Amino acid sequence: MKIALIGYGKMGKFIEQLAKERGHEVILIIDTHNQSDLQSARFKEADVAIEFSTPHSVLSNVEAAFAAHVPIVVGTTGWYDEIPTVKTKCESGNNTLLYASNFSIGVNVFFHVNKVLAQLMNRYPQYEVQVEEIHHTQKLDAPSGTAITIAEGIIDGLDRKNKWVNEVVGQHDGRVNQAAELLIESHRIDQVPGTHTVVYSSEVDEIEFKHTAHSRAGFALGAIIAAEWLEGKRGFYSISDMFDFK
């Protein structure tokens, strides 16, 4: 495949390397200094664009891919309130987009088991539940997109929780959470690629369910596999469409 990379930071660089190892061609790399290349003929030649930039730039990059009719895989997080609008634009323009809050295969297995676990724990109201996420200090959004997906899976399965709230450790505003609120606790620690933990605790015991990313390689590989899966498809997809866990 001919790949255009949008965003050439930590993830973009990993993806470039792995894409070449898998036999793909990176035909264009776009970052802040060459934004106008999004309107170039070269960009239109790409079979797919892979976007890992910033929450502030992702929407304009998606619009540019739609305008050029280049299918786009989006890894950038922190824009999910816009999903309904982006979905409508994607479908009305006969375009193609796949997004994931986390492209690692292990995390997508985790998402599935997390949902099953929440349905099971619905029977045991003596357990309080909490989500914890740890990321590197340069991360711009909190909570992480992955933690939000985990929280939504829990809220779907547990009748006793109806919304999530976020607390960044060290920035607590003194607010007391309601029983129906699911706390996502965010920790920012240098160099951590991403750790997510779901903790169910009762007076007598605790169940801890945890995913630890050892590096960014798992995200990069998942994004390339998603781009390969997207070939020949039209429409708006999330990574869960790629897996069949039933």
Positions in the binding site for ligand NAD (CB under 6 A): 6-12, 30-32, 35, 52-55, 57, 61, 75-78, 100-103, 139, 219
**Closer CB to ligand NAD, residue 95 or residue 108?**
108
Of 111 and 219, the one with the shorter C-beta distance to ligand NAD is: 219
CB of 35 to ligand NAD, least distance (A): 6
User: Which helix or strand (DSSP H or E) is residue 235 part of?
Assistant: strand 235-238
Place of tokens 């369910």: 209
Q: Which residues lie below 8 Å from residue 4, measured CB to CB, with a gap of 6+?
A: 26, 27, 28, 29, 30, 42, 43, 46, 48, 49, 50, 70
- Comparison of 107 and 158: residue with beta carbon closer to ligand NAD: 107
Residues 214 and 99: their CA atoms lie apart, in Å, by 22
Kind plus residue range of the DSSP H or E element containing 129: strand 128-135
CB-nearer residue toward ligand NAD: 54 or 130: 54
Q: Which residue is at the shortest CB distance from ligand NAD?
A: 9
Q: Which residue stretches of the chain are H helix?
A: 10-21, 41-44, 58-68, 83-92, 105-121, 145-157, 217-230
C-beta of 17: minimal distance to ligand NAD in Å?
13
- Catalytic residue, from 24, 115, 135, 161: name it: 135
Q: Minimum distance from CB of 164 to ligand NAD (Å)?
A: 18
233 as an active site residue: the answer is: no
Known catalytic membership, residue 139: yes
CB of 165 to ligand NAD, least distance (A): 20
What DSSP character marks residue 205?
A: -
Q: Which residues are catalytic?
A: 135, 139
